[in-house]
A = this chain, B = another copy of it.
């Protein structure tokens, strides 16, 4: 399989999982750390980490360390991927879960997530 065909298939593979799709749409709002993503998705950290690794390996997101946090953001400038994700957003413009994910993202901060995680430990 040549390079561009592989890129193409890999991008679709990355998009063919509900949780990764939600992550990518969230990152369209703003860059996020893993605990913020976890606050929205409510799945294990190790699982989120695996999804982020796949998205990074596919070249769709990049990360940057900030203290003990790792901030993930969309890679910009890939015309093909931008078109695809744009079409997705258009198709899902009224999707309740996507709207709610965005709402949560706009309300939380790393600090709030940290507090919430601490609370969870006592339960």
- In Å, the complex CA distance between A16 and B87 comes to 17
- Please tell me how many copies of the chain the complex holds: 2
CB of A84 within 8 Å of the partner chain: yes
User: Considering only CB atoms, which chain B residue lies closest to A17 in the complex?
Assistant: B9
Q: Which of B5, B21, B94 contacts A8 (CB under 8 A)?
A: B21
Contact with B along A83-98 (1 / 0, CB 8 A): 1100110111011111
Contact with B along A13-31 (1 / 0, CB 8 A): 1011110010000000000
- In Å, the complex CA distance between A96 and B87 comes to 27
A→B interface (CB under 8 Å): 1-2, 4-5, 7-9, 12-13, 15-18, 21, 80, 83-84, 87-88, 90-92, 94-98
